[in-house]
Amino acid sequence: MTAKVGFVQRIKNYLEDVKKEFGKLSSPPGSELLGYTYVVIATTFFFTVFIYITDLILTFIVQQIY
């Protein structure tokens, strides 16, 4: 039974620590968040186009071989 109590106490301590850490969090200002959003969208768009063009080129090469 003591192992179970130790386990429950460890879970309780963990959750208390998580609560303390969440209290330390802060959100970036809206303008900064918007800037990060633009960077993520632009990066995603760039890699989407890059992968699409790479796929087209590789498909063309494979079709020429076979």
Q: Which residues of the chain have pLDDT under 50?
A: none
CB under 8 A, 24+ apart: contacts of 51-58:
none
Q: DSSP secondary-structure letter at 66?
A: -
pTM score, whole prediction: 0.59
32, amino acid identity: E
Range of the domain at 10: 2-65
d(CA 43, CA 36): 11
- Please calculate the CA angle 60-58-43 and round it to the nearest 5 degrees: 125
Mean pLDDT estimate for the chain: 93
* pLDDT at residue 13, rounded to an integer: 94
The total number of structural domains that make up the chain: 1
